[in-house]
Amino acid sequence: MTTDTPDVAPLPVAEVAALGRRILDEVGTAVVGMRDALEIALGTILAGGHVLFEDVPGLGKTLAARSLATALGLDFARLQCTPDLLPSDITGSSVYDPAARELTFRPGPVFTGLFLADEINRTAPKTQSALLEAMAERQVSVEGATRPLPRPFHVVATSNPVEYEGTYPLPEAQLDRFMVRLAVGYPDREQEREVLLRRVGRRQEAAPVARVVDAPTVLAMQAGVEATAVDADVAAYCVDLAAATRAHGALEVGASPRGSQNLLLLARAVAVLDGRDFVLPEDVKRVAVPVLAHRLTLTPTAWASAVRPEDVVTELLGRVPGPATVGPTR
């Protein structure tokens, strides 16, 4: 995973944290009751990753993605995924220009800053795979030519886990490209009441969100995260957690090295958003479930016993010994 920011001057940790709070506060004017999930989603973007929101319809996943893109000042494109969607509908294709008498490449919606693939599990795996190169390498290969994507580039996808008619499960390779999978859950009574009152108060469906930063500032924030060192013991703890999933009896497939890497990168990002230039074991524990659970494949016996990957990760967090409290890396 890379943020592609070697030529960008990094922002200090304190400034990244202050801007992060402003972004989350602004998104919070439109989205109610998702602060923790939004903070992890923002950390994922600052760590150079992609986000998968998987939850039942009507919880504000699309609104959260759109509001986050607006507050970050990123170009935004939404694609409603359907069974008949083609790879070229994502990446673009060449069309004949009668005036120039030649084929001209017309970019698809993936050529943007934040690409929202809404209900990604409604499109066929062949079309889903069109995003693999874009997510891993920030480029797409179309008709024999490789075209770079804008910087920064991030994918936010939504998925419906309760409806199976007309849907396709995401392949393991696709899931592994997402740094996190987040479930926002139902709001509590007061939060749901606040949603209703805000809707009545603004007298329109749209919830306006102001831009807080712009794309160059996002790159500088990402560079600030990249400039933050990590203690070797914390890195070893991430490796131990990932390795423990590979030996767990309830799992056929454990987390890959990309999983341990993403665990470390996101833990560093949430530490910076918290105003620290060092990562604590608690940062790793906080992000372990959203980073690791979707990378695990249960055995048939565990699946029949209603074991969840999230339960396995939680169990391992209580069993795998962590390092002593880590201090500033100075």
Domains of the chain: 13-218 (3.40.50.300), 228-319 (1.10.8.80)
The answer to whether the beta carbons of residues 32 and 202 sit under 8 Å apart is no
Cα–Cα nearest to 254, from 234, 240, 268, 271: 240
Give bridge partners of residue 95 from the DSSP assignment. 104
User: Mean pLDDT, the chain, as a whole number?
Assistant: 88
Query: Side-chain half-sphere of 55: how many Cα atoms within 13 Å?
Result: 17
Q: Which amino acid is it at 232?
A: A
Q: Is the pTM above the cut of 0.75?
A: yes
The pLDDT of residue 122:
87
* 154 vs 191 pLDDT, higher one: 154
- Three-state DSSP state, 125: helix
d(CA 23, CA 38): 10
The pLDDT of residue 240:
95
d(CA 290, CA 307): 16
Find out whether the peptide bond into 152 is cis, omega within 30 degrees of 0: yes
Residues 6+ apart with CB under 8 A from 10: 220, 223, 224, 226, 227
Max intra-chain CA distance, the chain: 69
The pLDDT of residue 325:
62
The pLDDT of residue 265:
96
| pLDDT tens-place string over residues 222-271 | 999 999 989 999 999 999 999 999 998 888 988 999 999 999 999 999 99
List strand residue ranges (DSSP E) for 143-226, in order: 145-148, 154-159, 180-182
The pLDDT of residue 330:
44
* Torsion angle (degrees, nearest 10) of CA 187, 42, 20, 39: 30
- Three-state DSSP state, 210: coil
Residues 168-180, mean pLDDT to the nearest whole number? 86
Question: How distant is the alpha carbon of residue 186 from its chain centre?
Answer: 20
Residues 53-77, mean pLDDT to the nearest whole number? 87
| pLDDT tens-place string over residues 85-106 | 888 889 988 887 788 778 888 8
* 217 vs 96 pLDDT, higher one: 217
d(CA 195, CA 189): 10
The answer to whether the beta carbons of residues 180 and 260 sit under 8 Å apart is no
Neighbours of 109 (CB within 10 A): 16
The pLDDT of residue 6:
61
The pLDDT of residue 306:
87
The answer to whether the beta carbons of residues 267 and 283 sit under 8 Å apart is yes
